[in-house]
Structure 1
Amino acid sequence: MKKHCILFFLICCLTEYSYAQVTKAENSHELINQYAREYMESANDYAVVFSGLDQPKLINNIKSAYLRTKGYKELDDWGYETYNIESSANGKFDEGDLLYDGVVYPKISMRLDLYTDELMVLTPNITYRIVLDPGRVGYANFNGYHIIYVPSNANIKLPKGYYQQLYSGSSSVLRKESFSYNRQSENLVNWTRKYYICKDGISYNVKNKKAVLKVFKSHKKELERYIKDTGINFNDMESALPLVVEQYDKLTGK
């Protein structure tokens, strides 16, 4: 079971960013309140973001997998794309803009856990990794992606969680990466990357050109011509899908 470190520990430990000297407190309750005031002052307008639960430790303290920078690829010995959890590229925080509780916070250090599906921010003293409440996340822009959270009660029927929004118009394109845990090997396994086209309130999981054209069968011929003329390569779904879906929106005038 996941165990979270409560904000109490965060407040008590973030003293290096406080500039007021702690005076003698009559009891522990006063001391905690004083640390809390100083933390809120040092965090300023960002305090609402840096308050929450610390990232839980994974089973057997294994290393997790995180969303990597857009365009970053690792290949195995056979030339197929792979994900190396032990790579130095895994787990890095990246600065970006965060819309949280309706307020945009710039230059926030963030990363997205692909196993727990949690978005977290790094505190100013680089000590705690605060897991954000997904219901309060409007969007997060980092690692070259625009990331949104789709709740379980969304109009579009999609598994709830964080998605990379690759295109947004009348139709939209979403991408999701994930891992699962194997108890026998005690490792993260089954790295998956799924792409969805959302059109007219319905989501379609697409894996190749044929599946994409089936979604847009009313304009299949026009899109086939567009794909051929522009040389779109569906081996790179991340680049191909936004172009084709945007062209569909233009053809339909939506």
Structure 2
Amino acid sequence: MYTKNNLGLVCLLIPFVLISLKELSYGQVVNDNDSAAVENTLSVFRKSLKSQLWLFNGVEDPGYPAGLVGSPYYLTDKLSKGSVIYDGVTYHNVPLLYDMLKQAVVIEYFNTPFRIRLLDDRLSSFSFSGHHFVKVGNNAGLVNLEEGIFEICYSGSLRLLARRYALSRNVISGNKMATTIESHVKFYIIRDRTAYSVNSAKTALKIVGDNGEIKEYLKKNKFKYKKDKERVLTEIVSYRDNISR
């Protein structure tokens, strides 16, 4: 079984495996077609490996024990193909998960059951299933916004960010204990490089400087904050952004 201690060894062994395969192929009596096929396979694998190798620089992710109530992952606990910007390099079609409990991106290791958690300080952004996330660091130049991973729900002169996270708690029932995962979200409106925490439509309208027009628009279209917070906040921010242009 792979471990984080031998992960680097696995990556180092890959080139030697390729060399051994090549030497083996030429050490046997093969026809020109077989030789060309082997060389073509090696060439394709080398190119694929070279383009993806740095992405596998992370730590082993052991996952979670069976029996959890709720899921620590955003949207799905199954790997979804997405894109990642890691160490300044963009990778596409990467099978990944967003772990809200650990606040980390987990990827599949070379089509194996083994999974890797990407290093936080090397991650810039990632996208999957129509959702785009960015890593906000202390050098982002934004006031009142903590470091972490945020989804960009809307981006213009105003921005709407969502901090999606999970908390775990142990619940005792009789003589059994179960771990419950609860997902949460915090919304922030970014205006003039300052982040404002939002917990109601009224607060959002005040932040964007509504004179009553947006409030009337929400009422006319029957948008309810309690029913769909993200939709209502997106409507408020995008409406204000559009009438300001």
Verify same fold: TM over 0.5. yes
1:76-91 correspondence runs (5 A):
90-91=76-77
The answer as to 2:220 corresponding to 1:221 is: no
The answer as to 2:132 corresponding to 1:146 is: yes
Question: Counterpart in 1 of 2:32?
Answer: none
Alpha-carbon distance between aligned partners in 2 of 1:20 and 1:220, rounded to the nearest angstrom: 72
Question: Counterpart in 1 of 2:72?
Answer: 65
Question: Counterpart in 1 of 2:41?
Answer: none
TM-superposed CA distance for 1:93, in Å, is 1.0
CA contact (8 A) 1:91 1:111 kept: yes
Question: Counterpart in 2 of 1:121?
Answer: 107
Question: Counterpart in 1 of 2:120?
Answer: 134
Alpha-carbon distance between aligned partners in 1 of 2:198 and 2:118, rounded to the nearest angstrom: 30
Question: Counterpart in 2 of 1:43?
Answer: 49
Question: Counterpart in 2 of 1:34?
Answer: none
Which residue of 149, 153, 163 corresponds with 1:162? 149
Distance 1:20 1:147, change over 3 A: farther
CA contact (8 A) 1:95 1:108 kept: yes
Alpha-carbon distance between aligned partners in 2 of 1:112 and 1:19, rounded to the nearest angstrom: 36
Alpha-carbon distance between aligned partners in 1 of 2:99 and 2:14, rounded to the nearest angstrom: 24
Question: Counterpart in 2 of 1:33?
Answer: none
Residue type of the alignment partner of 1:219? D
Identity, in percent, stands at 24
Alpha-carbon distance between aligned partners in 2 of 1:14 and 1:179, rounded to the nearest angstrom: 37
Alpha-carbon distance between aligned partners in 2 of 1:101 and 1:243, rounded to the nearest angstrom: 34
Alpha-carbon distance between aligned partners in 2 of 1:236 and 1:13, rounded to the nearest angstrom: 51
Alpha-carbon distance between aligned partners in 2 of 1:61 and 1:13, rounded to the nearest angstrom: 33
CA contact (8 A) 1:5 1:56 kept: no
TM-superposed CA distance for 1:115, in Å, is 0.6
Query: For residues 102-145 of structure 1, what are the alpha-carbon distances to aligned partners after superposition, in whole Å with 9 as ceiling and x for unaligned?
Result: 32211111111111101122122223222222333332110321
1:94-243 correspondence runs (5 A):
94-156=80-142, 157-182=144-169, 185=177, 187-216=179-208, 218-234=209-225, 235-243=227-235
TM-superposed CA distance for 1:188, in Å, is 4.0
TM-superposed CA distance for 1:19, in Å, is 8.1
Kindly report the root-mean-square deviation, in angstroms, between the aligned alpha carbons of the 2 structures. Answer: 3.1
Query: For residues 181-237 of structure 1, what are the alpha-carbon distances to aligned partners after superposition, in whole Å with 9 as ceiling and x for unaligned?
Result: 335756244432211111112212212211211212x32312112223343332212
Structure 1 residue ranges without an equivalent (≥5) = 25-38, 69-89
Alpha-carbon distance between aligned partners in 2 of 1:190 and 1:8, rounded to the nearest angstrom: 35
Residue type of the alignment partner of 1:224? K
Distance 1:5 1:222, change over 3 A: same
Query: For residues 37-82 of structure 1, what are the alpha-carbon distances to aligned partners after superposition, in whole Å with 9 as ceiling and x for unaligned?
Result: xx97652201111222111556x787561011xxxxxxxxxxxxxx
CA contact (8 A) 2:84 2:125 kept: yes
CA contact (8 A) 1:10 1:128 kept: no
Alpha-carbon distance between aligned partners in 2 of 1:178 and 1:104, rounded to the nearest angstrom: 24
The TM-score with structure 1 as length reference comes to 0.71
Residue type of the alignment partner of 2:73? Y
Alpha-carbon distance between aligned partners in 2 of 1:40 and 1:120, rounded to the nearest angstrom: 24
Question: Counterpart in 1 of 2:239?
Answer: 247
CA contact (8 A) 2:214 2:239 kept: yes
Alpha-carbon distance between aligned partners in 1 of 2:10 and 2:169, rounded to the nearest angstrom: 32
CA contact (8 A) 2:131 2:151 kept: yes
Structure 2 residue ranges without an equivalent (≥5) = 25-44, 172-176
Residue type of the alignment partner of 1:202? T
Distance 1:145 1:221, change over 3 A: same
TM-superposed CA distance for 1:151, in Å, is 1.5
Residue type of the alignment partner of 1:210? K
